[in-house]
Amino acid sequence: MTPRVFLRLLKQHALWFILIPVLTAGSVYYFTKDDPRIFKSQATLYTGLASGYSLLSDQQAGFIDHSAAAFENLLTTLNSKETLRQIGVSLLTRHLPLDKPDGKILSQPAFQELRLYIPENLRLSLTKNADEATLHARIDSLSRTATDNPVQFVLMKSYAYCSIATIGKKLKATRRSPSDMLDLEYESTDPAVAQQTLSNAITILNKRYTTLKTAETNSVVSYYEEQTKATKQRLDDAENKLRAFSVQHKLLNFEEESKNVAASRELFSGDYNKELMTNKAAKASMDALNKRLGQLGPLLLANGDLKAKQADLTDAQNQLVNAQAYGQPQNVVTRLQNRVEQASEALKVTARNYTAAESTPESIPQRTLLNEWLEKVIDFEESSARLEVYKSRMGEYQAKTEEYSPLESELRQLNRDLTQAEKDHIASVHYLNQAITHRQDISVEGALTTLDAPNFPYDAQSKRWLFIALGFGVGLFIALLLTAIRFWIDRRISSPEQAESLIGRPVAAVFPTVRKFTIDSKAGRTALSMFEQLCNAINFEIIKTTATKPYPPLITLFSVRSKQGKTWVANSLGRMYAEAGQQVAYCYPRLNDEQQKIEQEGVTFFPYTRRSDLMNVTEIDYLFDEETKFDASQYDRIILEIPALISSPIPVYLIDQSTVSILVTDVNSIWARTERKVLEMYLKIATHTVVTVLNRVDGSYIDAPSKADAQQRPVQPEHSVEVQRTLRSLENQRTLQYGKLS
């Protein structure tokens, strides 16, 4: 639907758009005349949920906005049934002790409403010897009982001013985005009830929301306290196992001791090899000297006293080496060194006592050989003692190595358990500290801050005019809906665009309703322009079919239904050709017997009688009787108007001889399945071009040429206003009738 079509529909149904909205608005005005006055109390709370500072603010690396979820939680808490019930209980606690209405606490209508719900004997029993806290506890207890009672009914099941249904419906809370402010409002017919309800709602919301958040943090703190205790126990167990392991195996630092054992073992291994070479060298030297000494050597070796001295020396050497190897005190080492020296001197003295000769056969002094022998014996004994110590220490290091090898994996497991226990304990302590900080943070933040306290509304707010405006808008919507429904179900043609859509063919010319053919009239200028374009289209088709169609060309005007404006179009079209100097024959169906052939200003009117065998007429001459002589060769154009197709047979042969056909249809005419089928039948017969003309189109769909363009026309438009049928009064009347069909 184009805007022009929409505006035309509004213009056509303007009465609907006036009457229906006025009717609905008037109905709302009448039915709301007895509506009670409404009082609204408002308040503003600062929540600090988005931008508030807390104990945890400095611990956050970046700002994380959880305000949306926090506000949802806050609003859910406010609108919960428990919160609404507690608000109602608080209202009853304030109002039940009243013996008479009080404008600042409870007005007359609300006071009477409360008396209807709460019997007097129950009210007196509840308020007897009860302060505010006791009365609140009694009302709260009655509202929670499983048995029915008036207090439970008025709070949970009724629609009184203190019921949860009424409070939940009228209590509204909205966030003033994107701030931390929360706007609360409550509407009631009693201004005091509105203020008190909002005050109680703020108090109870503060209490419940803080309690919920604290309970949430308490459970978290309790959980992490248990986790911290468990991790501390695991940490203590791991430390005890490690301590027992160190005590059992006498370890101070296993890693350092392992390194020391390995290093000492390598060092002693090198010293042992060196000492082994020294011992073998001393043994070889001693054996060589024994050979040089001859018989003295075996004698010395066989002497018991000498062996005893040598044994003392060996024992002293062993003790000295052990003392040096195991780090004995210096006085012990010195004492052992003295003992070794004494044993050496004793061995030397004993050996010399057994020496009988001063020289050997090789002329070497025997004492010299003996001294060398003694030195090698002493070196050998010292080396042997050191080798024994080295062997003993090597055995100890080997035993240590064998002992440490399985201990390493066990110690690693113990250390790993200890490290994991420490990490778990540190993490638990960290989370516990966070939970405790969060709990403390809630305590520090406290309740929601009241920025604007609930006001006492003195002025009533009436929504009557709003309802009236809504009623008027509903009326407009209904009118628009009815118009749209009518437009959708209406199959009548209303615009050129709709005509093209329904007919399925382009519209070549659109004619408005013409009252007078003058250039001063917009409709007159438009009609003249359309007829000029229509003539151009017809002439173009005549030129195309000159070789295939007989001369003069036959122009057929038809319509599916009657009274579509064919006669007016034919008259005007014939006049246009006559003004161009052409002879025109206009053949039309006779309305009565008085209509006869007549010629007027280049247009000859030929009425023909409607015939039942019209479909069998093969030549246009056969339409007329013998008295009406029709000679086609005398005319330049023949205009044939045939009856409405829906009520008469189709002249098949005449249509086949036509050069061009003009389909004339009228705005507001129905175009449905029957019309489409009849037109399809006509188009199957016509082998020429069919031009569509839309008649009596609304002025909003036309584009009229300017007066300057219209004045350039060679023939004055006023000449075309005369009717072209006959000079008889009857013919004049009929022609005027056709002229008004536009």
Please state the rounded mean pLDDT for residues 558-575: 90
Task: Return the pLDDT at 366.
Answer: 57
Please state the rounded mean pLDDT for residues 663-678: 88
Sheet harboring 181-188: ordered strands across?
Answer: 171-175, 181-188, 39-46, 449-452
Q: CA-CA distance, 110 to 150, in Å (whole number)?
A: 16
Question: What digits encode the pLDDT tens for the residues 486-510?
Answer: 777 766 777 788 788 888 889 888 8
Please state the rounded mean pLDDT for residues 448-461: 85
pLDDT beyond 60 at 364? no
Task: Return the pLDDT at 64.
Answer: 43
Strand residues in 266-388 grouped as ranges (E): none
Task: Return the pLDDT at 140.
Answer: 93
Single-letter amino acid, residue 655:
I
pLDDT beyond 80 at 727? no
Higher pLDDT, 679 or 378: 679
pLDDT beyond 70 at 422? yes
Structure tokens at 332: 């012990």
Higher pLDDT, 618 or 310: 618
pLDDT beyond 50 at 63? no
Please state the rounded mean pLDDT for residues 216-235: 84
Task: Return the pLDDT at 498.
Answer: 78
Please state the rounded mean pLDDT for residues 246-262: 60
Task: Return the pLDDT at 520.
Answer: 65
Higher pLDDT, 386 or 128: 128
Q: CA-CA distance, 308 to 316, in Å (whole number)?
A: 12
Please state the rounded mean pLDDT for residues 586-593: 87
Q: CA-CA distance, 185 to 716, in Å (whole number)?
A: 77
Among 1-5, 212-216, 522-526, 676-680, the least confident range: 1-5
Strand residues in 469-589 grouped as ranges (E): 507-512, 554-558, 584-589
Higher pLDDT, 703 or 401: 703
Winning range, highest mean pLDDT, from 7-11, 99-103, 255-259, 435-439 = 99-103
pLDDT beyond 70 at 450? yes
The whole-chain average pLDDT of the chain stands at 78
Q: Which domains does the chain have, with CATH numbers?
A: 1-35+462-490 (no CATH), 36-221 (no CATH), 254-441 (no CATH), 496-739 (3.40.50.300)
Task: Return the pLDDT at 356.
Answer: 46
Task: Return the pLDDT at 734.
Answer: 37
Please state the rounded mean pLDDT for residues 636-642: 92
Element (H, E) at 654: helix 652-657
Task: Return the pLDDT at 186.
Answer: 93
pLDDT beyond 80 at 351? no
pLDDT beyond 90 at 321? no
Distances (CA, A) of 730 to 190, 564, 726, 735, 736: 83, 21, 8, 9, 10
Q: What percent of the chain is predicted at pLDDT more than 90?
A: 22
Task: Return the pLDDT at 202.
Answer: 92
Task: Return the pLDDT at 262.
Answer: 60
